A and B are shown apart, each in its own frame.
Chain A
Amino acid sequence: MRRQVVAVSLIALALVFLPALAPRDNVLNWVFLALLYGALAQSWNLLGGFGGQVNLGHAAFFGLGSLVTRTLWLNQVPLPLALVAGTAAATAMGVIIGAPSLRLRGPYFAIGTLAVAEILRITTANALPEVSFLPTTYLAGYRLLPRYYLALGLVSAVTFVAWWLTRSRFGYGLAAVREDADVAEAIGVHAFSHKLLAFVLSSLFAGMAGGLFAYYHVSYYLQFPFNPIWTFDALLITFLGGAGTVWGPLVGAGFFLLLRETLALRLVELHLLIFGIVFVLVVLVFPGGFVAAWRALATRSERSLQ
């Protein structure tokens, strides 16, 4: 336990002082991306990992957060305000979509959320087909540093919520719902309200991550953050690292981006093949992902040492 606290503090310190230490911008840029993906995956993890509800429409919240933030920001609204508005929009949509969809059982929740996200993507693509460029006045003042620290803050916030889920009454209730909703009800846990709150928290942080994406990118198609690829990457990263664990999504994000960077230079698609295979193996053989594998290894080596 203490060793874990020390390790986490060291990594956090390293991340805080990285801009001063990193000689080149591309290192900082890579870590920024890892943080962004980590934050998005962690937000998926709140509902998907801790709550056991497979949301295949996560991109909708990421997309809406980015769309609202970008539009307001480029229309002279101060960035903090634009971020808050983007987050609020995604959160509101979490309530609107979560309430009916979470009543669905079986496969319908997964399919329903996917359909909602696709509707939003297609509508955005039709209504706003253009590329959004940062105007020259914005470009002149562009710095990576504030974006980096924003990403660091976001990852810390969403990871704090994940950590809170492992040691709070609400977190225990949510775990019971994940394991067996009927049993959870029978011991006093109102399953629907637990799922809904997890859904809303999940969409809140996805929207915030979308806002960060809008603040970071110089130019992109406004529909791009709505692409289902964002859902799929978040899901993949969460399961690789360990769904329902506090550190899984962050470990997964690091691994995901590292493998993508190294392999992309040689062969464009190979990393996807590896991700797919590892993912299937994790689901079938090692449901806890890297984090659980690491824990199992650690306890085994401790035992053999004694």
Chain B
Amino acid sequence: MSGDGPELLEAEDLSKSFGGLRAVDRLSFAVDEGEILGLLGPNGSGKTTVFNLIAGALPADRGRVRFSGRDITREPPSFRTRLGIARTFQLVRPLPNLTALDNVLVARLYGRGRSTALRTARDESLDLLSLFGLSQKATTSAHALTLAERKRLEIARALAARPQLLLLDEPLGGLTTTEVSAALAQFRRIQAEGITLVIVEHNVHAVRSLCDRVIVLNSGRLIAEGRPAEVLSRSEVIEVYLGKASRAALQ
């Protein structure tokens, strides 16, 4: 099922329904330590639901989630974050009336390997903000930031929790071309620091250049898995994921 490294996260037989709709249907996959895994699929194929099941925002109907060998299926999201799973949201969700600094600071105070001393945590948070080019905005309320700034803040906040596994939900949506290449470089730096990434993204070029491996979902089921260039050229993937019309654009 998986690539080369040791498994960091294991999803086994995961299912989740909303009313009559099966959003995730008996899905099994693994994430290897240190890789960047792309999670692909058409709209409504269950990608965000998978994120919510891994992060604990939704309870699974059946199946289990293991992280570093530990069963976390029944643990609340905050506990999973403290174990080392951090996430961003598809529509950015800053804590609107807190400053950019305080957004990051809370994660620093509560995340994995947290600093409980306020002063240390604040210094570390300021370092993170400057890493993401947000030093000037430290005392600005999060709701007053631009979309690009909020997206960077969201990733800075997730990193402040010192994750081993970072889940990025459409981190490139709404960004300009220059912002996209800056973000991709940023993700590679994050990987270089030993953090494993799972990323949901529609930008095919970005997925191709960034991901070590991709898995493709359709109607909550896994339909393909492998290296991005290889998977994206399979005809069944192209048809399901992009529709026939896009085949030309992709090749």
Contacts and interface: CB of A to CB of B under 8 A. Distances in A.
State if A and B touch, Cβ cutoff 8 Å.
yes
Interface of A: 167-169, 172-173, 175-176, 179-180, 182-191
B171 to A, nearest CB: 15
Nearest to A182: B57
B137 interface: no
Contacts of B109: 169, 172-173
Contact of B86 (A167, A172, A179, A187): A187
10 contacts: A176-B98, A179-B96, A180-B95, A185-B56, A185-B76, A186-B77, A186-B81, A187-B161, A188-B82, A190-B79
B82 to A, nearest CB: 5
Contacts, number: 78
A190 B161 contact: no
A182 to B, nearest CB: 6
B93 A188 contact: no
Q: Most B CB atoms within 10 A — which of A176, A188, A189?
A: A188
A110 B56 CA distance: 27
Interface in B98-119: 98, 102, 105-107, 109-112, 114, 116, 118
A217 B105 CA distance: 46
Given A175-B102, A189-B106, A169 B86 contact: no
Contact of A175 (B77, B89, B98, B160): B98
A173 B121 CA distance: 13
Interface in B41-71: 55-57
Majority secondary structure of chain A interface residues (helix, strand, loop or mixed): helix
B78 interface: yes
A180 B129 CA distance: 21
Contact of A187 (B57, B111, B116): B111
A182 B114 CA distance: 19
Contacts of B160: 187
B78 A189 contact: yes
B116 A169 contact: yes
Please provide the 6 A-B residue pairs with the shortest distance between their CB atoms, ordered closest to farther.
Answer: A188-B110, A179-B95, A187-B107, A188-B81, A185-B77, A190-B78
A175 B76 CA distance: 19
Contacts of A182: 57, 77, 93
Interface in B149-194: 157-158, 160-161
A167 B77 CA distance: 25
B87 interface: yes
Contacts of A189: 78, 106, 110
Nearest to B87: A186
A169 to B, nearest CB: 5
Contacts of A175: 95, 98, 102, 106
A172 B111 contact: no
Contact of B55 (A169, A179, A186): A186
